[in-house]
Amino acid sequence: MFTHIVRSLRLAVTWWSLGLFLVPVTSAGAELRVAAASNFGAALAELAADFESRTGHRLRVSLASTGKLYAQVVNGAPFDVLLAADAERPELLERSGTGVPGTRFTYAVGALVLWSRDPSLAGGDCREALSATAIGHIALANPETAPYGAAARDYLRRAGLWTDVEARLVYGENIAQTLQFVASGNARAGFIAAAQALDPRLPGATCRWEVPAELHEPLEQQALLLQHAEDEPAAAEFLAYLRADAARDIIARHGYLLPAR
């Protein structure tokens, strides 16, 4: 009886492992696991499709806040490439040996936008919502964990608006949730990535204002090859692709500034 059960289980496991082995055989290229900051999602989807059609490799993308991705990578998450929303965490990873030294570079420079769909703000530049007498919640990403949140806090402090709005601030867990707060109208206005403001699925904005880059720390978004993929040529290929003209065009079209070459 027992032998019978074990034999059936072994048969099941054999079939299952056969299934596992068949996947790499049927797909031509390598499979890369890319961990990317939430704000880069739309651009990365287009980049991935382009890269896949050029090389035959496949990208598996995980989106989260840079803080979370950092914690996951430090704790051994099996990612090949990190596309962070800042320069600080890739630098930490490179120095600690979790990333491959010398592979870190800026792939995009983010822009911050104040955005709203509130009809009462129509016609203006949204900044009305930040005044001391204004009402309604202002959404930003958590400054402790999300670079766009830190940039928004930077701007509010430098512009002397922090104390006026502090009590009305709500914090998205990452920039994608921040967008969700303001796009659903739950927050009256919010600081989102310029890249997100271009998304055609958004409801129409009643106002949008690009925060001048000199009013916050630059949003340098850096890429890093992770130790996990040190010997994976496809990962290096993808990083090289990100610096190429084809990729830069796509990145610029999604609302990012490009790093100097």
Partner 1 sequence: MNASDEFSALWLSVQLAAITTVLLILIATPLAWWLSGTRSRARPVIEATVALPIVLPPTVLGFYLLVLLGPYGAIGRWWVELTGDTLSFSFTGLVIASCVYSLPFAVQPLQHAFEALGRREIEAARTLGATPLDAFFSVAVPQSARGFLNAIVLSFAHTLGEFGVVLMVGGNIPGETRTISIAIYDRVESLDYTAAHTLSATLLVFAFAAMLAMYLVNYRGRRNA
- Contacts with partner 1, residue ranges (CB under 8 A): 65, 67-68, 70-71, 74, 135, 137, 139, 142, 144-145, 169-173, 177, 180-181, 184-187
8-state DSSP, 257? B
**Per-residue burial over 86-110, b = 16 or more CB atoms within 10 Å of its CB, e = otherwise:** bbbbbebbbeeebbbeebbbbbbbb
Nearer to partner 1, 67 or 255 (CB): 67
Q: How far is the CB of 70 from partner 1 (least distance, A)?
A: 7
Nearer to partner 1, 178 or 196 (CB): 178
Nearer to partner 1, 41 or 67 (CB): 67
Q: How far is the CB of 242 from partner 1 (least distance, A)?
A: 26
Nearer to partner 1, 25 or 135 (CB): 135
Q: How far is the CB of 139 from partner 1 (least distance, A)?
A: 7
Angstrom distance (rounded) from CA 120 to CA 129: 10
Nearer to partner 1, 62 or 186 (CB): 186
Asked if 191 contacts 215 with a C-beta cutoff of 8 angstroms, the reply is no
Angstrom distance (rounded) from CA 134 to CA 150: 22
Please, is 140 exposed, middle or buried when counting C-beta atoms within 10 Å of its C-beta (0-12, 13-18, 19+)?
Answer: buried
Q: How far is the CB of 170 from partner 1 (least distance, A)?
A: 3
Q: How far is the CB of 39 from partner 1 (least distance, A)?
A: 16
Place of tokens 């796509």: 250
Interhelix angle 245-253/41-55, rounded to 10 degrees, is 150
